[in-house]
Amino acid sequence: MTAEETSGHVVKNDITNSTRIDKELLSKHLNEIVGEWEFQSPKEVEFFENKFTQVRLVRFTDRQLISYLNIIDDGKPIALDLEWNPFTRQNGVNLFQLCTSRGCLLIHRRSGQKNDEFFEFLKTHQFFMKDISNDYPMLQTTFGKNFPFQVCDVAAQILRPEKKSEKFEKMVVQFSHLKPTGKFKNKKISRSKWDRNLNPRQILYAAFDAVGLYACLEEFQKYKFEFLHPEAIKSMSMSISKARASKKEKNKPPYAKALSKKLDHIKIFAEAFETEKNRHDPDYCIDLNGVSELKFEELPMFADFYKQKWDKPYMNVEFVKGTISKVSMVLSSDPNLKEILHNIDDGLTMSLEIKYNPKDADPFISLIGICSSLGCLLIKCKDGKACDDLREFITNHKFVFISSKRIHDYMKKMFGSDFEIPIDEEKINHLNNYQHTNVLLSVELNHSDWNQDEYTDAMVLNYANGVSYLYHFITHHV
């Protein structure tokens, strides 16, 4: 079925009444495929050229579910994949995708639904999946912590040991020796709310995950592997990772080993933070009202979710594991600023960071952060106005900070053409040779409007983390 011109408008490819979906249709963008995919009504899909697979969608509570399972059961290991709503992980798996030589069966499950027959089927058959690190916990959420399961994780047991690509598309081409007829992988679709009614695009995406995996089975069987309990696979994966890390560390030159030790001092979780961030709805928000302390483990996962206005006198934050920093913010016009600055003065080198709004035609300093062993102080400079007490404090102390000509120019614009930040040259040299990633790294926050009257908790914590990081670097590594 092809798009047609009707009254000057392009009609997308409606597959509601189609029983076959061929390569001509699949070669187009998935967004052009619309319509309804009825339950229990199979469609023949040409995922690979001249190879049609029967795809059937059924409900988890369908009384005939065991019959459909028996239809596709060919007595061999079954390719299995799972989908769930990333915003309601606590509700378990929403879609089970199974594929054998007899076709692909998609089983759609709503929250709270149970099916003892399907549970028994999973316990009594062998499956192969790709990377069960996220899938198995979801199966446990759905069926219980002690869920018995025999599986081959092709990522852990074949791809990693053989140093093959773990990217799904590359794996399919390399092991099946077949080229897909369309581009089925789509990040936006992968983040779908799978507990709701499914459209054809979601169904084709999900079916291909199982069909593509099954297409690799014959080649997989040339490698030695066992069907194991997921906990055994997890243990095996950890052993392989440790062995690789040990070998990699052993082969490093001396300077690289020294750098690795430095990186271990301050734990970074930027990737974990991004992963957790993507699981939540954009409007998700964490209320910090009444919270006086944030632990290290809370920050990487939830930094961007602190969306309330910062209205606290201070907060104790564990930016670095085992070390609490007192974070506070004041206006540069505060009549008690001199005393406040004195309270963070420990007589040693401190860290300093500066923020300005890069979107302004004529930028000025909006925020200055200073960190010492006594706390992290953020000074908000309304309209970039100078402050004699702040100038005097900076001039009479030594700092480490990430400098640039632009920042120097803005500082001179604020404090006068003769103003210079006293630098601890020895510590700066160490800093310039040090590679790091901030725990609360966020491009979105870094490009916030720093000239606005009020900051969110996330903006304050993000900025305090940066200046705190510099301070703890010089404390631990110099």
Radius of gyration in angstroms for the set of CA atoms belonging to the chain, rounded to a whole number: 29
CA dist 105 and 70 (Å) reads 11
CA dist 130 and 248 (Å) reads 25
The whole-number pLDDT of residue 412 equals 86
Q: Can you give the pLDDT of all 478 residues of the chain as single tens digits?
A: 444 444 444 457 899 999 999 999 998 777 889 999 999 999 999 999 999 999 999 999 999 999 999 999 999 999 999 999 988 888 999 999 999 999 999 999 999 999 999 999 999 999 999 988 888 889 989 998 878 888 999 998 999 889 999 999 999 999 999 999 999 988 888 888 899 999 999 999 999 999 999 999 999 999 988 888 877 776 666 655 555 556 565 665 654 544 454 444 333 333 334 444 444 455 555 666 667 787 776 665 555 566 678 888 888 888 777 788 899 999 999 999 999 999 999 889 998 888 887 777 778 888 999 999 899 999 998 877 778 899 999 999 998 887 677 888 888 888 888 888 887 777 766 665 544 434 444 545 556 777 788 888 778 887 787 777 777 766 655 4
The whole-number pLDDT of residue 247 equals 58
- Answer whether 6's CB lies under 8 Å from 30's CB: no
- Answer whether 352's CB lies under 8 Å from 370's CB: yes
If asked whether residues 75 and 178 sit together in one domain, one would say: yes
If asked whether residues 357 and 425 sit together in one domain, one would say: yes
- Which phi and psi angles does 380 have, rounded to 5°? -90, 120
Question: Structure pTM?
Answer: 0.54
Residues 6+ apart with CB under 8 A from 179: 48, 49, 173
The whole-number pLDDT of residue 405 equals 77
If asked whether residues 271 and 395 sit together in one domain, one would say: yes
If asked whether residues 189 and 271 sit together in one domain, one would say: no
If asked whether residues 241 and 366 sit together in one domain, one would say: no
Residue 52 domain-assigned (yes or no): yes
Residues 6+ apart with CB under 8 A from 474: 349, 351, 400, 424, 427, 430, 431
If asked whether residues 238 and 268 sit together in one domain, one would say: no
If asked whether residues 28 and 82 sit together in one domain, one would say: yes
The CATH number of whichever domain residue 112 belongs to comes to 3.30.420.10
CA dist 410 and 448 (Å) reads 18
The whole-number pLDDT of residue 12 equals 73
Range of the domain at 180: 4-247
**Of 217, 247, 277, which closes a domain?**
247
DSSP 174-223: HHH---BSS----HHHHTS-TTSPPPHHHHHHHHHHHHHHHHTHHHHTTS
Written as six digits, the tokens of 102 are: 């007899």
The count of structural domains within the chain is: 2
